[in-house]
Amino acid sequence: MNEKKATPHILHSYAAKKEHLIIGLMSGTSLDGVDAVLVHITQSGGEQFTLKHHYYLPYSKGMREKISRVCRVPSSHVNEILDVHFGLSHWYAKAVNNLLIESGYKATSIDAISMHGQTVWHSPVATPFPGPDGEFGVTGTLQLGNASVLAKLTDIPVISDFRSADMAVGGEGAPLAPYSDFMMFGSTQEGRIIQNIGGIGNATVLPKGDQQSSIFAFDTGPGNMIIDEIVSLHTNMEQLYDDEGKIGKSGKVEEGVIEHFMKDPYYKKSPPKSTGREVYGKDFTQTFIEKCGEYNLSFSDCVATATAFTAQTIAHSYKEYILPRYSISKVLVCGGGALNSTLLEMIQQRLPKEIEVTTISAYGIPDQGREAMAFAIMGHRSLLGEPGNLVLVTGARVPVVLGTITL
Ligand SMILES: Nc1ncnc2c1ncn2[C@@H]1O[C@H](COP(=O)(O)OP(=O)(O)O)[C@@H](O)[C@H]1O
Ligand SMILES: [Mg+2]
């Protein structure tokens, strides 16, 4: 067979170009909204990724509730999942179109949209399944957001479903951001940790040097999820998070509560490991609030203690699983948690003084833009026909090209 014909035309024309424009779209476990970034990629003298614009579209209360219901078992129904799958694409399209208006770029100049989608279920642990040749273990992941609807609403090709290909070759389908963390923040001068604090906290360890093979990543535990839930419950959804950590700053930390929840076996488990909304959702927060009640903590004390618990899970992970093996000079925090200065101070206090805790905004990337940027970079890799997974991070058998292209 003629090799050229075997490769879709879009891949040929993409690879032939010297510069590219990709829009990355991310909506994470916090269910707060959609982050959209426009990334300019040039090939001259090694790949350069430049963030041109970041646009954030917060979800309405109604939209947040729709997604939240779908994530909850057993209350979600297949018709509700379908509604979110197609309805979400309109939010994504709005984010893309507003990003284009604000940045002054035309849809025709954009090569592709890289859409992560909204994770509603992630199941990397095999579940018994009746296969055609007898029972086998099935793994899977589900990100909602219909690519065809988004492509039609924006008139731009869409790359989506990044995690499935990694799972198809035995990987956990996550985390996928470490490759682009390496491209954006890797240093030959010093060891760094990229600490994302979204709904969940996760760390990418970038040891000093240029070896992709030494990168590893894992979930440290909760991110903002417990803090958000306590604040939302107390304010009857008037406030959805602790803005800049002001409530936490005014409260007193109760170490007894932290010690109690640090007994969870998750914190004694070595990486690779991952956690999610399934663990730190509403039920966990209820238990946390009850424990705070045993110590007669006020609302602000409870928020302060939840903030310190998140900081402790992060510092503990470093001390147990990273610092004994690697020399680390900087922690670059990203995700919405980077805007909570009380949380940042608490992380710094719990780490050795020589490690500097800062945020990725100091490196020119908006705190909430990193994941959208990671998926823009991953989409670029896919359009070049190059793998986007790191097998030592996801556990996949082989590196694979990720995603599905919708024209
Ligand atoms: N100004 C702020 N002060 C403190 N926390 C904030 C602020 N803005 C956003 N956040 C936190 O960041 C979260 C969203 O972070 P994000 O990185 O988008 O997470 P995810 O990837 O899970 O969607 C919010 O739910 C909130 O907890
Ligand atoms: Mg978000």
pLDDT tens-digit profile of 13-23? 999 999 999 99
Calculate how far, in angstroms, residue 246's C-alpha sits from the geometric centre of ligand 2. Answer: 20
Task: Identify the three-state secondary structure at position 298.
Answer: coil
For residue range 235-259, what is the model confidence (pLDDT) as tens digits? 999 999 999 999 999 999 999 999 9
Each as own residue / partner, the long-range contacts of residues 85-89 (CB below 8 Å, 24 or more positions apart, any chain) are 85/144, 85/145, 85/146, 86/146, 86/149, 87/63, 88/27, 88/117, 88/118, 88/144, 88/145, 88/146, 89/145, 89/146, 89/147, 89/149, 89/150, 89/153
Model pLDDT, residue 2: 46
- 338 and 254 in a single domain? The answer is yes
Give yes or no for residue 198 CB within 6 A of ligand 1.
yes
Q: Is the CB of 32 under 6 A from ligand 1?
A: yes
Choosing from 64, 340, 367 the residue with most ligand 1 atoms within 8 A of its CB, the one to mutate for a pocket test is 340
* CATH code, 158: 3.30.420.40
- Residues 317, 402 within the same domain: no
Sheet strands (E) in 337-407? 356-359, 404-406
What's the pLDDT score for residue 3?
A: 46
Give the chain's domain count.
2
24 lines ligand 1 (CB under 6 A): no
Same domain, yes or no, for 321 and 382? Answer: no
Centre of ligand 2 from the C-alpha of residue 342, in Å: 20
Residues 241 and 304 both lie in one domain:
yes
Task: Evaluate: CB of 239 within 6 angstroms of ligand 1.
Answer: no
* 225 and 374 both lie in a single domain: no
| Token pair in block for residue 300 | 């602000």
Q: Name the residues around ion ligand 2, CB cutoff 5 A.
A: 28, 30, 32
Query: Quick one: tokens of 274?
Result: 């991952």
Q: Place 7 in a pLDDT band, splitting at 50, 70 and 90.
A: low
User: pTM of the entire structure?
Assistant: 0.93
Alpha carbons 353 and 387: distance in angstroms, whole number: 38
pLDDT at 272 over 90: no
> Each residue of 302-344: pLDDT tens digit?
999 999 999 999 999 999 999 999 999 999 999 999 999 999 9
Q: Are 55 and 148 within one domain? A: yes
The whole-angstrom separation of Cα 12 and Cα 18 is 12
